[in-house]
Structure 1
Amino acid sequence: MTTITLTGDTFARTIADQDIVLVDFWASWCGPCRMFAPVFEAASAEHPEIVFAKVDTEAEQALAAAAQITSIPTLMAFREGVLVFSQAGALPAPALAELIEKVKGLDMDEIHRSVAAQQA
Structure 2
Amino acid sequence: MQKLNRIDDIKELISNKKMVLLYFSTNDCGICTTLLPKIEKMLLNYTEISSAHVSIDELPAASGEFMIFTVPTVLLFAEGREIIREARFISIDMLEEKIQKYYRN
Both structures adopt the same fold (TM-score exceeding 0.5): yes
Structure with greater strand share of residues: 2
Residue-pair matches, total: 104
SS of 1:33 mapped into structure 2: helix
Unaligned runs of 5+ residues in structure 2 are none
Structure exhibiting the larger radius of gyration computed from Cα positions: 1
Output the TM-score relative to the length of structure 1.
Answer: 0.78
Same amino acid, percent of matched pairs: 26
Partners of 2:103 and 2:42 in 1: CA distance: 14
Large movers: runs of 4+ above 3 Å: none
Output the TM-score relative to the length of structure 2.
Answer: 0.88
Partners of 1:90 and 1:49 in 2: CA distance: 25
Structure with greater helix share of residues: 1
Partners of 2:31 and 2:98 in 1: CA distance: 19
Unaligned runs of 5+ residues in structure 1 are 107-120
Match of 1:76 in 2: 75
Give the root-mean-square deviation of aligned CA atoms: 1.5
SS of 1:46 mapped into structure 2: coil
Give the stretch that moved more between structures: 85-94 or 37-46: 85-94
Offset of 1:99 from its aligned partner? 2.0
